[in-house]
Amino acid sequence: MSIASEPLELVESVENGIRTASQPSKLRITDVRVATIVGHGYYPILRIDTNQGIYGLGEVRDGAHPDTALRLKHLLIGQNPCNVDYLFKSIKRYGGDSREAGGVCGIEIALMDLVGKVYGIPCYQLLGGKYRDKVRLYGDTPAPRNQTPEGYVEVVMKRKALGLTFIKFDLPARLFEKTPGALVGSATKHEYYQYNQWYVPGRGAGPRISERGVELAAEICGAVRAAVGDEISLCTDHFGEGYVTADEAIRIGKAIEPYNLAWIEDVMPWRDIAGHKKVADALLTPVAAGEDLYLFEGFREAIETRAFDIIHPDMLSSGGLSETKRIADHAERYGIPTALHACCSPVGFMANVHLGASIASLVAVEHHGLDLPFFRDLVKGLDANYMADGYVTVPDAPGLGIDLNEDVIRENLRKTASYFNDTTEWNELRVGADFRGHEDD
């Protein structure tokens, strides 16, 4: 017998017993708010609220201003958050390379978290499913205070003790600057500081890596490899990015080839695709890059010319979940794997876990919060042993699978920040035509 033939009282009883988390077609964005945490730098956490009480969480990239998200609020109010692609295409023109992408990417992640909650599915399912139940981590390791081979061994072994099987350590410019004899020549004086931070390699007199500098890099890599053994994957970061020329990067890269690194990272400024290709073609060690590139278009040349051996997007700059998945899939067509850069709070971290689960050609996902004692406590949903053996279990809970721990976040807010305070000042339409009006169905 069908329910239609049952008494009216029984039908009403059945209907009243049905629980619906939301009505997706009538869902509307009502607010966008931010709370900025002090972590490794600053973590601006984004929250998108709706008329049905469901909210989505995202994150603006470290070092980016929360206003990169709030300035887009007027384009979101009144919209159905389930139209993620539509909204992303509406806002992506207001983003740019590196930290300028922060707002666009944080919004996309919050929308995906929200949609996952609405339909009761994890974010990886919105990306087409998963290729693994656990995602491998690589642990970031800042350069030690004592920048000697012994100092590096000490900090890297602490990472190994955490159970990590993939570890990155820095070989920064200050390593060469602080070591007697590691540089020849001298930098040009009287330069304005801000421009000097991002100079073209080799500009002016420019510092030059000496034979001692090259030997030092090799000694450090050799000592670390000997200490951790052959079963640990190792990679390095930071000696490039505008400090050394392509030729100097090749000299250093060749010197450390005997230690079988998984990659050397960001050997040239991020916009210098040809420079990366020159280094990548000259070395047997893979070159990884891309953490500051924005959108599919930002990666296309590097992928199609094979300027990067490994693409290394930061989803908080590359475009969020769906766009970064698209980038990784395109790289796979060219035989290029993907590692995910992630310097972020647990919100961005778990977004990377979902993304990493959905990428067939994944190498590993970065964990940059290992030295932050309250990292796990910022959210609910991460177990005490969440990174056992260097892997994170992909959650099956809706959305990102986590929620905020309000008390801990309040304890660690930036001094000038508040806990998701009112942002009405950003509601007014600022650019373009008003396309926000929708009639309720």
Residues 31, 422 contacting (CB under 8 angstroms): no
Instruction: List the one residue out of 80, 88, 98 whose CA is nearest residue 58.
Output: 88
Residue-wise pLDDT for 227-282, tens only, equals 999 999 999 998 776 788 999 999 999 999 999 999 999 999 888 999 999 999 99
**How much is the pTM?**
0.90
Q: What is the pLDDT of residue 5?
A: 55
Q: How many Cα atoms occupy the beta-carbon half-sphere of 299 within 13 Å?
A: 34
Average pLDDT over residues 337-354: 97
Residue-wise pLDDT for 376-393, tens only, equals 999 999 999 999 999 999
- Taking the CA atoms of 59, 64, 65 and 71 in sequence, report the sign of the dihedral they define: negative
Average pLDDT over residues 421-431: 81
Instruction: List the one residue out of 389, 378, 325 whose CA is nearest residue 349.
Output: 378
Q: Which residues contact 66 (CB under 8 A, 6 or more apart)?
A: 34, 36, 44, 46, 60, 103
Q: Say what percent of the chain tops pLDDT 70.
A: 89
3-class SS letters over 104-129: HHHHHHHHHHHHHHHHCCEHHHHCCC
Whole-number mean pLDDT of the chain?
89
User: At 107, is the pLDDT very low, low, confident or very high (cuts 50, 70, 90)?
Assistant: very high
Residue-wise pLDDT for 288-320, tens only, equals 999 999 999 999 999 999 999 999 999 999 999
User: Residue holding tokens 């991020």?
Assistant: 270
